[in-house]
């Protein structure tokens, strides 16, 4: 069983075959016997998911923060809920915990110290509101402090930029890398900082057979086990920023990579999500070298990074892949 691995692009010849196969698959039926899993419950960054058009009521661009609600939300002028765009602040009712601190008071206290009772200026991306009616904004203090970025720099929030509002994605990614390296905030626990993990060895990997691909970030094994990819989110048809058939392309690319193939699962610290699905890093072999499926999906623009502690083992690989995809304008990052 191969134990070398690669973070490089797949060869052009392989990608040509994949592209041709993906195109051909548009006229073929979906995998018989495998039902699609709706991922509406476990999406960890769907707070930013716009389910309504960007037009609507006029939104105030200035105001005073009345109170902080969560590490990424506050009340503006006593009536408007503002959600910090491009980042994710863990909140108390989410399932992942590390001791008493990951969802402790530090996250909330940090945002309160930054903004509570202070005047702020709001800037907006493509979408000004999310599906819950909250304002999505990039927030600045009077002294120029960029609140969204500062929360990531302090390690109190995660980079969670999406194609809906991709502004400053590179800044958030670089700030998160620096916070990880300095072990700030969320990244201070040793269990969280596994982002430069070595190549997986044979004893770390579990060989399995993939029966079918359910979507761009979920597969089903031959024994019926459903595996949700750690570390990424793939587009779904109900997300307004998905252009044309990009969600279907993501699923089909994933299918070409893995369906009916032998793969290897690498588990991180948490092995199950709230719906009972396995959480794993998924490796496949190409020319005798192990490749990370998540990184390939992100690099080709068919998914974006959504890594949450403590499952951070391959974070650096994913961040690098996303930077490549954004720079090249691939898939979900394509600009007209």
Residue 180 shares a structural domain with residue 271: no
Q: What CATH number is attached to the domain comprising 68?
A: 2.40.50.90
Cα separation, 8 vs 138, in Å, equals 34
pLDDT for 189 equals 65
pLDDT for 296 equals 96
Cα separation, 89 vs 71, in Å, equals 5
Q: Is residue 35 part of a domain?
A: no
pLDDT for 286 equals 87
Look at the chain and report how many structural domains it folds into.
2
Cα separation, 162 vs 292, in Å, equals 21
Residue 277 annotated among the catalytic residues of the structure: yes
Catalytic hit among 228, 252, 291, 314 = 228
Residue 178 shares a structural domain with residue 52: yes
Q: Is residue 230 part of a domain?
A: yes
Residue 148 shares a structural domain with residue 219: no
Distances (CA, A) of 152 to 18, 112, 184: 36, 15, 10
Residue 109 backbone dihedrals phi, psi, to 5 degrees: -60, -40
> Strands 218-221, 205-215: parallel, antiparallel or unpaired by DSSP?
antiparallel
Catalytic hit among 153, 236, 266, 324 = 236
| Structural Rg of the chain based on CA atoms | 20
pLDDT for 83 equals 95
Q: Is 59 exposed, middle or buried (0-12, 13-18, 19+ CB in 10 A)?
A: middle
Residue 93 shares a structural domain with residue 81: yes
Please identify, among 190, 217, 234, the residue that sits at the C-terminal boundary of a domain. Answer: 190
Cα separation, 25 vs 22, in Å, equals 5
Catalytic hit among 83, 107, 252, 277 = 277
Residue 266 annotated among the catalytic residues of the structure: no
Instruction: Answer yes or no: is pLDDT of 25 > 70.
Output: no
Q: Is residue 210 part of a domain?
A: yes
3-state secondary structure of 67: strand
Residue 166 shares a structural domain with residue 284: no
3-state secondary structure of 321: helix
The token pair that represents 65 in the structure block:
């923060």
Q: What is the pTM of this model?
A: 0.67
Q: Domain of residue 247: give its range.
A: 5-30+194-333
Q: Provide DSSP, 88-123.
A: E---TTSS---TTTTTSHHHHHHHHHHHTT-EEEEE
Q: Is residue 179 part of a domain?
A: yes
pLDDT per position as a tens digit, 172-225: 988 988 988 898 887 776 555 555 566 677 678 999 999 999 999 999 999 999
Pick from 203, 181, 188, 263: which is nearest to 227 by CA? Answer: 263
Mean pLDDT value of segment 294-299: 96
Cα separation, 156 vs 88, in Å, equals 9
Please identify, among 155, 190, 225, the residue that sits at the C-terminal boundary of a domain. Answer: 190
pLDDT for 14 equals 52
Q: Work out whether the CA dihedral 10, 272, 268, 165 comes out positive or negative.
A: positive
Distances (CA, A) of 322 to 37, 47, 317: 25, 20, 9
pLDDT for 111 equals 94
Residues 6+ away with beta carbon under 8 Å from 314: 195, 197, 230, 231, 281, 292, 294, 295
Please identify, among 190, 215, 237, the residue that sits at the C-terminal boundary of a domain. Answer: 190
Lowest mean pLDDT among 113-122, 226-235, 313-322: 313-322
User: How large is the greatest C-alpha to C-alpha distance in the chain, in angstroms?
Assistant: 60
In terms of pLDDT, which residue wins out, 289 or 145?
Answer: 145
Residue 252 annotated among the catalytic residues of the structure: no
Residue 129 shares a structural domain with residue 237: no
In terms of pLDDT, which residue wins out, 29 or 262?
Answer: 262
Q: Is residue 40 part of a domain?
A: no
Q: Is residue 38 part of a domain?
A: no
What element of type H or E holds 80? strand 80-84
Residue 182 shares a structural domain with residue 204: no
């Amino acid at each position: 069983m191969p134990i070398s691995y690669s973070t490089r692009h797949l060869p052009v010849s392989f990608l040509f075959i994949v592209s041709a196969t993906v195109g051909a698959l548009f006229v073929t039926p979906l995998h018989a016997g495998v039902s699609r899993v709706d991922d509406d419950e476990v999406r960890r960054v769907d707070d930013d998911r716009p389910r309504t058009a960007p037009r609507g009521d006029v939104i105030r661009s200035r105001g005073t923060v009345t109170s902080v609600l969560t590490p990424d939300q506050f009340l503006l002028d006593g009536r408007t809920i503002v959600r910090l765009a491009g980042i994710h602040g863990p909140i108390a009712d989410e399932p992942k915990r590390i001791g008493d601190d990951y969802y402790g008071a530090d996250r909330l206290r940090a945002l309160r110290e930054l903004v509570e009772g202070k005047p702020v200026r709001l800037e907006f991306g493509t979408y000004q509101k999310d599906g819950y009616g909250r304002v999505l904004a990039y927030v600045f203090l009077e002294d120029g402090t960029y609140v969204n970025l500062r929360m990531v720099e302090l390690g109190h929030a995660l980079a969670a930029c999406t194609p809906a509002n991709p502004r400053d994605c590179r800044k958030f990614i670089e700030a998160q890398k620096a916070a990880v390296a300095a072990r700030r905030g969320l990244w201070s626990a040793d269990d969280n900082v596994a982002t430069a993990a070595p190549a997986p060895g044979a004893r770390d990997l579990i060989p399995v057979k993939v029966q079918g691909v359910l979507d761009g970030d979920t597969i089903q094994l031959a024994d019926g086990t459903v595996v949700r990819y750690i570390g990424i989110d793939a587009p779904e048809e109900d997300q307004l920023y998905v252009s044309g058939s990009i969600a279907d392309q993501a699923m089909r690319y994933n299918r070409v990579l893995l369906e009916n193939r032998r793969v290897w699962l690498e588990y991180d610290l948490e092995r199950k999500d709230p719906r009972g699905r396995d959480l794993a890093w998924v490796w496949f072999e190409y020319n005798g070298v192990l490749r990370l499926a998540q990184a390939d999906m992100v690099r080709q623009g068919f998914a974006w990074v959504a890594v949450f502690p403590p499952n951070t083992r391959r974070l650096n690989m994913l961040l690098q892949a996303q930077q490549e995809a954004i720079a090249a304008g691939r898939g979900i990052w394509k600009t007209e």
